[in-house]
């Protein structure tokens, strides 16, 4: 296919701004900013009047056009649309270096997503410029902003594979481990105390769990192995054995042990299978309850869910006081087949947190088969082998189930894209996932792109359940690398197609750490204004002898983590790893914190123990121009150079010379940049 004329044009204009001008610059060098006219010139090729898919686009009927002519729309991703995808030749505006692949490799993320764009007549956003990309991917993968040097080196790099290389570099960093330890700490609800159930792990148990998550990620432990470790954990002491703290988190009071078994399996299916509706089924049949939201659940009985919960029977969890004279502080054990402690899943309850469990067989008594429910895996009917450990069998069934892979890749997708292919990502309906076997009318397939979901799951399995490999596949895709800027008319119904990148408000931890990185001002415990110990005194962490963290992302919890940052982090809705999830909302309190919190103002100090090396470096450099100062601030805080209008606005605010007035103005400019929405959001 011949490239349309405007591709060449885009290339030549981009060449003006990228080649030569920026190559070889470092953070110290003054650099002229990219003018806004250049930016606009790059982007105007993504205007909607541009024939995005090339002149042959109209040959392909969209669902909308079919509907208009009274035809029923084709089911998405039919053989026709897939063959069409391979023929598509489209190039966005954006940068010289990066065009969308002319033909996406069959089976790649982009082959599915771009087929959707084509089939539905959606023009995707242009591809990210390097400046957008380096900040976005660094934040998404490591929770940190890139250093000024790294940004410049990346933009200047002429290697066509530089994005893939950057991704490899980021995933290998210890910061990647920190970020994903926090993510999985959220997913596994690792907190020292769950308020909703009063369940206590105590800081020591939580720390053991945190350390296990961290080590597993650092070692690149396959995710099926991680899941197995958690599901099948046995331990005599949860202060020592991290993974046992996972199921312990499901212990509930005010009910029979079956309530705990139910809670454990409900949590496990939420975490690893993305199926929160199992929780409903543990109280009642799906019919009459889930009829219009989950087809699979509608056909599933409470008894089926009991069979699943039965895998958690024969497990005992008991407390041991650390100090025999004090029953209020204890660790747990989590053991199988303990004499006098463990039981089968029996149908003999009348009270508790869930409705009565009684056999439907008249006159059923203890000792009869009808009285207990044997374990049976709900999605394929398999059962533990004779003498097989129940939970080991469950781990085998779950990790061997493609739904485990689907749920995991979908959780990851939801993180990177702001919404899942199945969304919310824990509402999977197993009866509506197979594009070859669609559900009966009026049901529809549940994933917004079922073939993509299956392909990603398959890749995850074939890749050995390697989380790093999965993330690489996602962030290397053109889909992930679409800009968040959408030059045309955005429509809400484009959302499930991922036709632009959705912005993400940074986590509170990311904001605190970005301010630390940008200003260079490391946290410190201050005693009479002097730094008595570097790092944060994290509650239940450093006082138990662990090393002091330097970044908020290294905190082991999201509740009451550290005195100087708690209020700030809480205002950014970090959740409680119990009944409140982490959120991405904004609030007035966040704005008040961003503008006035001591935490941030301290980092702008020019003198004292917390003086910012960035700011003091700028004010102490004699003879450096204000243009240098502005460039340096933008680069260190926003990971980019200012536009020409931003430059002139900033210069107008900076007095000449090296005086107190200029010093204050430098602080004020830094304050303004930290309060810009392109600092607060990953875009």
Residue 56 in contact with other proteins, rule: CB under 8 A: no
Residue 284 touching other proteins (CB under 8 A): yes
Helices 626-638, 644-652: inter-axial angle, 10-degree rounding: 120
The answer to whether 27 and 152 have CB atoms below 8 angstroms apart is yes
Per-residue string for binding with other proteins, 299-338, x by CB under 8 A?
----------------------------------------
What are the C-alpha distances in Å from 481 to residues 414, 433, 456, 459, 584? Answer: 15, 26, 17, 20, 21
Residues 568-627 that bind other proteins (CB under 8 A): 570, 579-580, 583-593, 595-598, 601
In the complex, least distance from residue 668 CB atom to other proteins, rounded to whole angstroms: 5
Q: How far is the CB of 284 from other proteins (least distance, A)?
A: 7
Residue 275, classed as helix, strand or coil, is strand
Give the x-and-dash track for 508-547 against other proteins (CB under 8 A).
----------------------------------------
Is 75 a residue that touches other proteins (CB under 8 A)? yes
DSSP 168-232: HHHHTSHHHHHHHHHHHHHHTT--SEETTTTEE-HHHHHHHHHHHHHHHHHTT--HHHHHHHHHS
- State yes or no: residue 678 binds other proteins (CB under 8 A): yes
Structure tokens given for 274: 């993305």
Only segment of 46-54, 257-265, 379-387, 423-431 that touches other proteins (CB under 8 A): 423-431
Paired with 372 in beta bridges are 346
What is the separation of C-alpha 283 from the centre of its chain, rounded to a whole number of angstroms? 31
| Chain residues 365-394 in contact with other proteins, contact rule CB under 8 A | none
Q: Diameter of the chain by CA atoms? A: 95
Interface positions, 3-42, toward other proteins (CB under 8 A): none
Q: Is 629 in the site for other proteins (CB under 8 A)?
A: no
Task: Kindly state whether residue 118 participates in binding other proteins, applying the rule CB under 8 A.
Answer: no
* Residue 65 in the binding site for other proteins (CB under 8 A): no
Structure tokens at 500: 């632009």
How far is the first Cα of the chain from the last one, in angstroms, to the nearest whole number? 33
- Residue 368: what are its φ and ψ, rounded to 5°? -85, 155
Q: Which is nearer to other proteins, 2 or 588 (by Cβ)?
A: 588
Candidate ranges 19-27, 105-113, 291-299, 553-561; the one touching other proteins (CB under 8 A): 291-299
Rounded CA-CA distance 345/371 in Å is: 9
User: Residue 48's CB: how many other CB atoms inside 10 A?
Assistant: 11
**Residue among 125 and 248 whose Cβ is closer to other proteins:** 125
We find the least distance from the C-beta atom of residue 68 to other proteins, in angstroms, to be 11
- According to the binding rule CB under 8 A, does residue 47 interact with other proteins? no
Q: Which of residues 336-365 bind other proteins (CB under 8 A)?
A: 351
Residue of the chain from 362, 363, 442, 529 that contacts other proteins (CB under 8 A)? 442
Of residues 197 through 236, those in contact with other proteins by CB under 8 A are: none
Closest CA to 509 of 428, 572, 562, 451: 572
Give yes or no for a contact between 406 and 274, defined as CB atoms under 8 angstroms apart.
Answer: yes
Judged by CB under 8 A, does residue 676 bind other proteins?
A: yes
**By the 8 A CB rule, do 654 and 632 touch?**
no
The answer to whether 403 and 379 are in contact (CB under 8 A) is yes
Q: Closer CB to other proteins, residue 427 or residue 621?
A: 427
Asked if 680 interacts with other proteins (CB under 8 A), we say yes
Q: CA–CA separation, 593 vs 638, rounded Å?
A: 19
Measured from the CB atom, the residue of 370 and 660 that comes closer to other proteins is 660
Q: Give the DSSP letter string of 301-320.
A: -HHHHHHHHGGGTTEEEEEE
Q: Among 32, 67, 361, 365, indicate the residue that binds other proteins (CB under 8 A).
A: 67
| Contact map string, positions 120 to 139, toward other proteins, x by CB under 8 A | x-------------------
List, in sequence order, every residue forming a beta bridge with 524; answer none if it has no partner. 534
Q: How far is the CB of 635 from other proteins (least distance, A)?
A: 15
Measured CA to CA, the distance from residue 398 to residue 390 in angstroms comes to 12
Number of residues that bind other proteins (CB under 8 A): 82
Which of residues 51, 89, 222, 496 is near other proteins by CB under 8 A? 496
Binding piece for other proteins, criterion CB under 8 A, among 48-56, 388-396, 421-429, 614-622: 421-429
CA atoms within 13 Å, Cβ hemisphere of 267: 26
Q: How far is CA 68 from CA 54, 117, 276, in A?
A: 23, 19, 39
Nearer to other proteins, 215 or 444 (CB): 444
**Shorter beta-carbon distance to other proteins: residue 317 or 638:** 638
Residue 319 CB, nearest approach to other proteins (Å) = 18
Nearer to other proteins, 166 or 650 (CB): 650
Question: Which of 292, 325, 340, 607 is the binder for other proteins (CB under 8 A)?
Answer: 292
Helix (H, G, I), strand (E, B) or coil at 357: strand
| Residue 81: CB minimum distance to other proteins, A | 10
**Contact call for residues 258 and 349 (beta carbons, < 8 A):** yes
Cβ distance to other proteins smaller for residue 127 or 162: 127
Nearest Cα to 111, choosing from 74, 86, 79?
Answer: 86
| Nearest distance from C-beta of residue 208 to other proteins, angstroms | 28
Our finding on whether 671 is near other proteins (CB under 8 A) is yes
């Amino acid at each position: 296919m011949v490239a349309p004329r405007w591709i060449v044009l885009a290339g030549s204009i981009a060449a003006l701004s990228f080649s030569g001008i920026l190559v070889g610059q470092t953070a110290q060098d003054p650099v002229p900013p990219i003018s806004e006219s250049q930016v606009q010139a790059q982007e105007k090729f993504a205007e909607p009047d541009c024939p995005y898919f090339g002149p042959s686009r109209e040959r392909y009927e969209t669902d909308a056009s079919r509907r208009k002519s009274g035809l029923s729309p084709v089911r998405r991703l039919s053989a026709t649309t897939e063959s069409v995808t391979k023929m598509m030749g489209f190039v966005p505006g954006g940068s010289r270096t990066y065009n969308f692949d002319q033909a996406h490799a069959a089976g790649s993320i982009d082959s599915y997503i771009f087929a959707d764009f084509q089939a539905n007549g959606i023009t995707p956003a242009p591809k990210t410029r390097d400046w957008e990309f380096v900040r976005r991917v660094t934040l998404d993968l490591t929770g940190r902003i890139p250093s000024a040097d790294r940004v410049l080196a990346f933009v200047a790099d002429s290697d066509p594979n530089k994005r893939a290389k950057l991704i490899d570099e980021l995933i290998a960093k210890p910061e990647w481990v920190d970020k994903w330890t926090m993510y999985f700490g959220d997913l596994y609800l690792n907190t020292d105390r769950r308020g909703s159930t009063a369940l206590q792990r105590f800081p020591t148990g939580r720390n053991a769990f945190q350390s296990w998550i961290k080590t597993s990620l650092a070692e690149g432990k396959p995710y099926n192995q991680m899941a197995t470790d958690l599901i099948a954990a046995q331990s005599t002491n949860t202060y020592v054995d991290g993974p046992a703290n996972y199921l312990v988190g499901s212990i509930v009071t005010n009910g029979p042990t079956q309530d705990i078994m139910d809670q454990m399996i409900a949590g496990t299916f939420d975490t690893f299978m993305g199926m929160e509706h199992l929780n409903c089924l543990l109280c009642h049949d799906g019919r009459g309850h889930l009829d219009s939201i989950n087809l699979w659940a509608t056909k599933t009985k409470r008894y089926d869910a009991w069979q699943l919960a039965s895998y958690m029977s024969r497990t005992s969890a008991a407390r041991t006081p650390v100090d025999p004279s004090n029953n209020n502080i204890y660790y747990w054990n989590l053991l199988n087949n303990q004499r006098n402690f463990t039981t089968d899943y029996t149908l003999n309850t009348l009270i508790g947190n869930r409705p009565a469990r009684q056999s439907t067989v008249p006159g059923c008594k203890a000792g009869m088969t009808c009285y207990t429910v044997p374990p049976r895996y709900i999605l394929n009917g398999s059962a533990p082998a004779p003498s097989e450990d129940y939970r080991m069998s469950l781990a085998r069934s779950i990790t061997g189930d493609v739904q485990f892979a689907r749920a995991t890749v979908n959780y990851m997708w939801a993180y990177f894209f702001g919404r899942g292919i199945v969304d919310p990502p824990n509402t999977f309906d197993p009866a509506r996932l197979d594009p070859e076997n669609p559900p009966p009318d009026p049901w529809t397939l549940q994933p917004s792109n079922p073939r993509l979901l299956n392909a990603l799951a398959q890749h995850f399995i074939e890749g050995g359940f390697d989380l790093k490999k999965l993330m690489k596949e996602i962030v290397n895709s053109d889909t992930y690398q679409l800009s968040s800027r959408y030059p045309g008319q955005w429509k809400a119904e484009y959302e499930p197609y991922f036709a632009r990148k959705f912005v993400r408000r940074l986590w509170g931890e990311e904001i605190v750490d970005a301010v630390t990185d940008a200003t260079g001002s490391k946290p410190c415990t201050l005693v009479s204004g002097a730094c008595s110990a570097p790092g944060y005194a994290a509650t239940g962490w450093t006082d138990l002898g662990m090393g002091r963290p330097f970044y908020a992302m290294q905190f082991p919890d999201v509740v009451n983590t550290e005195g100087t940052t708690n209020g700030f982090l809480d205002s950014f809705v970090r959740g409680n790893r119990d009944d409140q999830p982490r959120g991405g909302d904004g609030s007035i309190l966040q704005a008040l914190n961003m503008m006035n919190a001591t935490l941030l103002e301290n980092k702008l100090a020019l003198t004292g123990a917390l003086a910012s090396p960035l700011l003091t470096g700028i004010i102490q450099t004699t003879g450096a121009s204000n243009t240098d100062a502005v460039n340096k601030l933008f680069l260190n805080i926003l990971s980019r150079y200012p536009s020409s209008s931003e430059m002139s606005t900033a210069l107008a605010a900076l007095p000449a010379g090296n005086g107190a007035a200029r010093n204050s103005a430098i602080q004020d400019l830094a304050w303004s940049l930290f309060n810009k929405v392109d600092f607060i959001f990953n875009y």
